[in-house]
Amino acid sequence: MNLVLLGRGKTGSLVAEVARERGHVVRVLCSADNAHACALTADSLQHDNVVIDFTTPHAVMENIEACLRARKNIVVGATGWYQEIPRVRQLVESSGIGLLYGGNFSVGVNLFFEIARTAAAALQHQYTGQIFERHHVHKKDAPSGTAAVLRDVIQEASGTELEITSFREGEVVGMHEVVLESPADTIYLCHDAKSRRGFAEGAVRAAEWLAGKKGFYDFKDVWREL
């Protein structure tokens, strides 16, 4: 496939590397190349199959809206825009493109969500809970998209919304913890990312899955199909 990657950060650069390893042609655009989504037009994207966005919260909505106008499928790995999901869902469904977003594209993290969903039953048996997330000092949004999804998964399963505590430390790739506590014991659940490669591989596989599809998708609902 021909892919357009938005963002040359650490994760974005690794996405480009993984995509090329899997035989795709990748065109990378940094913020200077794509100010206010100026590079995402129907003409400029006519030979591309999917756009992959790993930019920042302040840029992602302009990129999504440009892909909607250009009728080009997009995988969104950027977070910090989820308050716009209801509006974007409507726009995607009316435009006839495909959009797949994810708070985290790691298969391990999505397994972690399933474990947390099961463990959420403890909150109905006199347990209290908290979520902790740690990332590198350069991460611009807090809480992380992964922590927000984790909170939603637990709330859907238990009816209880947990507080999220965020830390920004050094070069931490990403650590997420759920602590469930009762007078009798404590349950610790933890996912600690050793590198960004799991995120990158999942994002490329998401783009492969989305090619030719229409509709609005959440990675946590489709990752088993990849």
| Catalytic site includes residue 214 | no
Q: What is residue 220's predicted lDDT score, i.e. its pLDDT?
A: 87
Percentage with pLDDT > 70 across the chain: 100
Q: What is the mean pLDDT of the chain?
A: 95
**19 pLDDT band (50/70/90 cuts)?**
very high
Q: Where are the domains of the chain?
A: 2-105+197-225, 107-192
pLDDT in tens, 93-126: 999 999 999 988 999 999 999 999 999 999 999 9
pTM of the complete model = 0.83
Helix, strand or coil for residue 193? coil
Confidence of residue 140 (pLDDT cuts 50, 70, 90): confident
**Strand arrangement, sheet containing 175-181:** 163-168, 128-135, 175-181, 186-192
Out of 36, 47, 72, 135, the active site residue is: 135
Q: Which CATH number fits domain 107-192: 3.40.50.300, 3.40.50.1110, 3.30.360.10, 3.90.226.10?
A: 3.30.360.10
Whole-number pLDDT of residue 66: 97
CATH of 2-105+197-225, one of 3.90.226.30, 3.40.50.300, 3.40.50.720, 2.60.260.20: 3.40.50.720
pLDDT exceeds cutoff 90 at 132: yes
Would residue 139 show up in a list of annotated catalytic residues for this protein? yes
Q: Which of 47, 58, 125, 139 is catalytic?
A: 139
The DSSP-derived string for 39-83 is T--TTTTTT-SEEEE---HHHHHHHHHHHHHHT-EEEE---S-GG
The pLDDT value recorded for residue 10 is 82
225 DSSP 8-state letter:
G
Contact between 207 and 50 under an 8 Å Cβ cutoff? The reply is yes
